[in-house]
Amino acid sequence: MNPAPRKIVVGITGASGAPYAKRLLEVLESRVESHGDIEVAVCLSSTAPEVWALECGGDVRDALRGRFPMWGMRDYTAPFASGSAGWNAMVIVPCSMSTVARIAHGISDTLLTRAADVMIKERRTLVVVPREMPLSIIHLENLTALARAGVVIQPAMPSFYGKTKTLAQAIDTVVGRTLDQLGLSHSILKRWGDKDVTDTERETP
Ligand SMILES: Cc1cc2nc3c(=O)[nH]c(=O)nc-3n(C[C@H](O)[C@H](O)[C@H](O)COP(=O)(O)O)c2cc1C
């Protein structure tokens, strides 16, 4: 018997970094098609469409309609608004400091923050991909509160040790590590230990 599908919510907020969300959804969609072992739903904050339009172009709702189930911002009838529906994991990418603050203080004022609250109370997987620069003490304290509650803080900080050359590769260093946190296998990033990564020209001591 196949394992039960894993149900994953992807939340998108109005922080810079919509291309990370776009790429994560592309990879999850192809996983649904190739393996059929996950179910993916999307929820947006009110600011997400504005930032997506600036950074990816077009209307995010048009881009995702028909590909993923979506609910209105205050539609608390969505299944993942309740712990009993058994959604296993949520990723918030990119995650604004406003959303971090609201989740850290238990303010479930939208479907997105409610879904995050459910993940925390049910001790399920919540991965946030925060983006801000620099981080104030308020941001850091709110992120610390989330980390203490078991949330994975997965900063939108690309790595370059895999001989990253293009923007797409840089995006994949963040998206790939996010997929790792969901326990989903992939090959979109080069890992430390891969032969062509660790082969460097070293000075002879
Ligand atoms: C183009 C643009 C980029 C933004 N980038 C960030 C960002 O990187 N981080 C952040 O915390 N807020 C950023 N903001 C501000 C948030 O959109 C704003 O605080 C909003 O209230 C967040 O609400 P939400 O978390 O419900 O989406 C940005 C806004 C715009 C218009």
**Amino acid residing at 41:** A
Whole-number Å distance between alpha carbons of 166 and 162: 11
The more confidently predicted of residues 203 and 76 is 76
Residue 4 pLDDT > 70: no
126-160 per-residue burial string, b: 16 or more CB within 10 A, e: under 16: bbbbbbbeeeeeebeebbebbeebebbebebebee
Ligand 1 atom closest to 54 (CA): 1
- The domain tally of the chain equals 1
> For residue range 45-90, what is the model confidence (pLDDT) as tens digits?
999 999 999 999 999 999 999 999 999 899 999 999 999 999 999 9
Q: Which atom number of ligand 1 is nearest to the Cα of residue 99? A: 25
CATH of the domain at 164: 3.40.50.1950
Mean pLDDT of the chain: 93
pLDDT at 23 over 80: yes
Instruction: Give me the pLDDT at residue 203, please.
Output: 57
Q: Are 73 and 102 in contact (CB under 8 A)?
A: no
Residue 3 has pLDDT above 80, yes or no: no
The dihedral sign for the CA sequence 14, 19, 24, 30: positive
Is residue 1 in a domain?
no
| Alpha carbon nearest to ligand 1 atom 1, residue | 51
| Helix (H) / strand (E) containing 11 | strand 6-12
Best of 42, 44, 51 for a ligand 1 pocket test (most atoms within 8 Å of beta carbon):
51
> Does the pLDDT of residue 165 top 70, yes or no?
yes
3-state secondary structure of 50: helix
Assigned domain for 104 exists: yes
* 160 in any annotated domain: yes
Give a yes or no: residue 14 inside a domain. Answer: yes
| Mean pLDDT computed over 13-22 | 98
Q: Which residue segment(s) compose the domain that 133 sits in? A: 6-197
Pick the more confident residue, 201 or 45.
45
- In this structure, how many other beta carbons lie within 10 angstroms of the beta carbon of residue 64? 20
Residue position matching structure tokens 């020209």: 201
The answer to whether residue 74 sits within a structural domain is: yes
Give 19 Cα–ligand 1 centroid separation in angstroms: 14
The yes-or-no verdict on residue 37 having pLDDT over 70 is: yes
Q: With respect to residue 204, please indicate whether it lies within any of the assigned structural domains.
A: no
**Is residue 202 domain-resident?**
no
Residue 88 lies in a domain: yes
26-40, 107-121, 190-204 — which is least confidently predicted?
190-204
> Residues 24, 181, 145, 157: what is their CA dihedral angle, to the nearest 10 degrees?
-60
Yes or no: say if 11 and 110 are a contact pair by the CB < 8 Å rule: no
Residue 197: per-residue pLDDT: 80
Residues whose CB falls within 8 Å of the CB of residue 6, separated by 6 or more in sequence, listed in order = 37, 38, 39, 88, 89, 182
pLDDT category, 193, cuts 50, 70, 90? confident
